[in-house]
Amino acid sequence: MKRIENEFGVSKALPIKTPSTNDGRVDVVVAKDGSGDYKTIQEAIDGAGIKRTNRSRRYVILVKQGVYNEYVIVGSKSKNMMIIGEGMGKTIITGDRSNGTGFSTFESATFLAKGDGLVLKNMTIRNTAGPENKQAVALRSDSDASAFHKCSFEGFQDTLYVRVSRQFFKECEIYGTVDFIFGDAAVVFQECQIFARRPLGGVNTIVTQNRDNTNHTSGIVIHNSEVKGDPKARLGGVKTYLGRPWSLYARTVVMKTQLGELVDPKGWLQWGNMTDISSMYYAEYRNSGPGSGTENRVKWPGFHVISDVQEARQFTVGNFIDGASWLPETGVPFSVDL
């Protein structure tokens, strides 16, 4: 796909063709009690290759409520799929793979999304390994032009791995402790709720971004959302930071978001012994709440308090992930501008 970069290194791509949303249509139903076409989600995904006859529209899988203890993979050939649950906390996919039980972070995901054009709606995806087992991913997404609406992602360290490509999260909930939103995708979180849990140590870091090359058009943007403590967790004595840089050119922007009192006044944390903090781009724009004050933020050359609305607009859905060219076809609502 041809891309053009603006002065901030943000990508503009030509529109892509994607099948339209389901318009209420369902191709197959998954139900644990056997009342649907399949009993497991993976069987339904694998069966799409046989049942799918019209690739000009999305293939839609409805997953009835229940707890599905399985590891789900939407493979790279399974493009333009829509998987719909019956609600957060009702349709639940759960697993417990982790570093502590012998799985790499890359391999630990409860749900792995590789096929482009994936849409997930109305479900919960969990990794229940717990903080003592360190890195344990709930969702890993490699899917370009993927959208997630009203989904909950629950874990502790490394909950949500937005690995590569363009992604969009709307009205989702994300729970975790250390680096629990991480990766090298170009991704926008809009009207999401981000919940910090209690870590084994005394420090939480919400976002860690892995842009290691100036040619990468990636970055993590949190827009019009809310950052707060998990109401079931006691965070007394825990320092919580908005994020830390995984790589030299890490890019993270938090804008028009409600920041709770849990956010440390410094805002951001240095990664280990990384000393070059001039090449990254970390920014805040018009945030609110008790954790939003910027007077005591880090004094890094790469940290910015944005005052120019045109600079902030580079990180909107319309500009940063080319959302107007592909999100309408997903059926997921979005705001294209600030």
Q: Residues near 162 by Cβ (< 8 Å), separated by ≥ 6?
A: 141, 181, 182, 183, 184, 185, 187, 220
Distance CA 220, CA 202 (A): 24
What is d(CA 79, CA 98) in angstroms, rounded to the nearest whole number? 27
Q: What angle do CA 128, 134, 137 make, to 5 degrees?
A: 55
Report yes or no: 274 and 280 within 8 Å, Cβ to Cβ.
Answer: no
Q: What is the DSSP letter of 68?
A: E
**C-alpha to C-alpha distances, 135 to 97, 102, 155, 176, nearest whole angstrom:** 9, 11, 9, 11
Sequence-distant (6+) residues with CB within 8 A of 211 are 184, 218, 219, 247, 249, 250, 251
Give the active site residues. Answer: 179
Dist. CA 174–CA 139, nearest whole Å: 10
Are 111 and 41 within 8 A, CB to CB? no
Half-sphere exposure (CA, 13 Å, Cβ side) for 287?
A: 30
Q: Rg (Cα) of the chain, in Å, rounded? A: 19
CA distance 17 to 14: 10
Q: Find out whether 72 and 43 touch, Cβ atoms under 8 Å.
A: no
